[in-house]
């Protein structure tokens, strides 16, 4: 037998092992569709390691696109997208959108911004910079590379609304100097910037006004009703209801929109009804406790989704109880990890004026 033949025979099993190894590595990812070069888009998701952004990443990756997540990990975490790390269609960049970014993309989903009151109030100036300078940077990028940009806006642009339900034509009722203003006004000006770039520079923009959303990967300590109630019910603590005639509407879908649209679930519940529902779903013995009203808390929220329905055929698909049950399961698992000494960061209290200066 020739020496080459002997070598081939010896190497053959090793080759097979390598093939198996490669196969097992490639199978660790969720399945992705194959898209031809023509249909495959290069998509940037800012804030893609956060709650909403990571679900959007999953959707676009599974649809077969190339996704670049840009995140400074202020409230997001690598764990939310770790299942894509190493995939040839995926890239994760640790970057703050307040700094310019130069990459080549076809579409931008601009989600980078803390979303819950304790997080956006923690450093209001930074929240303003993220929503203003960060949005300008992303619009500049969109203009430079001819990309379409979607801004994740919020129902907070309506402030404490005087119109109910809220539709896209309502201009809002925001306190410009209140504790929530850094976020509310930041998002309002971000929307203004989008339309200025559209009118002046011809950039294709979309704005989605998202209402209160919950689900897996949301922050357990985000200080909002759904997470508060679930956490309190699971831990046997009193469910704290603020004494207002408040009601919320909720949504659990992530989607692509083509104009300015309000998105959420038009089903409306009082906060007390929510507390009772979550208490019963968790089967918790927690009491319900009433607290005084917080400053500038919106009294009522309910999206008018007729435009989204008419133009996009969009409406919420996850029923409330199903969404809550999934979120409760997620929180239970996270609490188990916590009990096993796995660290879950808690947002720090809002900083007051004094103290060590912080680099923004
Ligand atoms: N979740 C909701 O109920 C809701 C409602 C309305 C609007 N929104 C909007 O949707 C978007 C996503 O919200 P979410 O609930 O996923 O919040 P999130 O806090 O989970 O995600 C935001 C992400 O942005 C990142 N980020 C923040 N500042 C950044 C910066 N300067 N540079 C780069 N990355 C930065 C965070 O690290 C995080 O990963 C936000 O723009 C938010 O305003 C969310």
Token pair of 281 as six digits = 């779903």
Verify whether ligand 1 is closer than 6 Å to residue 73 (CB atom). yes
Does residue 200 come out as left (phi exceeding 0), alpha (psi in the -120 to 50 range) or beta?
alpha
Ranked by mean pLDDT, the top range of 57-71, 296-310, 324-338 is: 57-71
User: Is 88 exposed, middle or buried, given 0-12, 13-18 or 19+ CB atoms closer than 10 A?
Assistant: exposed
pLDDT at 346 > cutoff 70:
no
Average pLDDT for residues 79-106, to the nearest whole number?
A: 97
- Say how far apart CA 103 and CA 313 lie, in whole Å: 33
pLDDT at 31 > cutoff 60:
yes
User: Is 281 exposed, middle or buried, given 0-12, 13-18 or 19+ CB atoms closer than 10 A?
Assistant: middle
pLDDT at 34 > cutoff 90:
yes
Q: List CB contacts of 216: < 8 A, sequence separation 6 or more.
A: 326, 327, 329, 330
State the chain's mean pLDDT as an integer. 86
Verify whether ligand 1 is closer than 6 Å to residue 74 (CB atom). yes
Give the pLDDT score at 356: 52
Give the pLDDT score at 32: 95
Tell me the best of 44, 45, 47, 132 to mutate to test the pocket of ligand 1, counting ligand atoms within 8 Å of each CB and taking the most. 47
Strands 288-291 and 90-94: unpaired
Question: What is the architecture, at CATH level 2, of domain 42-218+253-265+296-318?
Answer: 3-Layer(aba) Sandwich (3.40)
Strands 247-248 and 261-263: unpaired
Lowest mean pLDDT among 84-93, 123-132, 254-263, 271-280: 254-263
Give the pLDDT score at 345: 53
Give the residue, by CA position, lying nearest to ligand 1 atom 27. Answer: 113
Model confidence over 263-281: pLDDT tens digits?
667 677 788 888 999 999 9
Verify whether ligand 1 is closer than 6 Å to residue 135 (CB atom). no
Which numbered atom of ligand 1 lies nearest the CA of 213? 3
Give start and end residues of each alpha helix (H) in 111-163. Answer: 117-122, 124-145
What are the counts of helices (DSSP H) followed by strands (DSSP E) for the chain? Answer: 9, 11
Verify whether ligand 1 is closer than 6 Å to residue 254 (CB atom). no
Which numbered atom of ligand 1 lies nearest the CA of 110? 41
Token pair of 104 as six digits = 């080549």
Alpha carbon of 12 to ligand 1 centroid (Å): 50
Ranked by mean pLDDT, the top range of 23-27, 226-230, 288-292, 301-305 is: 226-230
| Annotated catalytic residue within 109, 183, 330, 343 | 183
Token pair of 22 as six digits = 């490669």
Active site residue 183: yes
- Say how far apart CA 266 and CA 271 lie, in whole Å: 15
pLDDT at 192 > cutoff 90:
yes
SS3 148: strand
Which numbered atom of ligand 1 lies nearest the CA of 98? 31
Tell me if 302 sits within 8 A of 256, measured CB to CB: no
pLDDT at 354 > cutoff 60:
no
Q: List CB contacts of 344: < 8 A, sequence separation 6 or more.
A: 220, 221, 334, 337, 338
Better pLDDT: 149 or 17: 149
SS3 274: helix
Give start and end residues of each alpha helix (H) in 147-208. Answer: 181-201
Verify whether ligand 1 is closer than 6 Å to residue 154 (CB atom). yes
Give the residue, by CA position, lying nearest to ligand 1 atom 44. Answer: 115
Give the pLDDT score at 27: 60
Verify whether ligand 1 is closer than 6 Å to residue 89 (CB atom). no
Looking at the chain, the whole-number percentage of residues with pLDDT higher than 70 is 86
Give the pLDDT score at 146: 98
Better pLDDT: 285 or 187: 187
């Amino acid at each position: 037998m020739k020496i080459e033949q002997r070598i081939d025979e010896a190497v053959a099993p090793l080759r097979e092992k390598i093939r198996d190894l490669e196969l097992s590595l490639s199978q660790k990812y969720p399945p992705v569709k194959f898209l031809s070069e023509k249909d495959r888009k290069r998509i940037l998701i800012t804030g893609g390691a956060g709650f909403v952004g990571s679900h959007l990443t999953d959707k676009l990756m599974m649809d077969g696109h190339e996704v670049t997540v840009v995140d400074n990990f202020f409230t997001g975490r690598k764990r939310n997208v770790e299942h894509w790390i190493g995939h040839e269609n995926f890239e994760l960049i640790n970057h703050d959108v307040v700094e310019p970014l130069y990459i080549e993309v076809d579409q931008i989903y601009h989600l980078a911004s803390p979303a819950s009151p304790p997080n956006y109030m923690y450093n209001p100036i930074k929240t303003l910079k993220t929503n203003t300078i960060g949005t300008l940077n992303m619009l500049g990028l969109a203009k430079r590379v001819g990309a379409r940009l979607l801004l994740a806006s919020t129902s907070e642009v309506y402030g404490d609304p005087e119109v109910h339900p809220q539709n896209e034509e309502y201009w809002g009722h925001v306190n410009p100097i209140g504790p929530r203003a850094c976020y509310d006004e930041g998002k309002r000006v971000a929307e203004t910037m989008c339309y200025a770039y559209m009118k002046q520079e011809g950039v294709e923009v979309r704005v989605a006004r998202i209402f209160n959303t919950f689900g897996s990967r949301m922050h357990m300590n985000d200080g909002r009703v759904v997470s508060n109630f679930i956490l309190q019910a699971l831990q046997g603590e009193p469910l704290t209801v603020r004494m207002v005639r408040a009601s919320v509407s909720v949504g659990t879908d992530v989607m692509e929109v083509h104009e300015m649209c309000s998105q959420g679930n038009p089903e409306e519940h009082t906060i007390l009804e929510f507390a009772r529902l979550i208490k019963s779903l968790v089967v918790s013995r927690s009491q319900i406790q009433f607290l005084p009203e917080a400053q500038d808390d919106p009294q009522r929220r309910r999206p008018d989704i007729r435009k989204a329905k008419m133009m996009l055929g969009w409406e919420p698909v996850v029923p409330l109880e199903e969404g809550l049950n999934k979120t409760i399961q997620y929180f239970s698992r996270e609490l188990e990890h916590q009990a096993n000494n796995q660290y879950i960061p808690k947002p720090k209290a809002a900083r007051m004026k004094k103290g060590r200066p912080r680099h923004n």
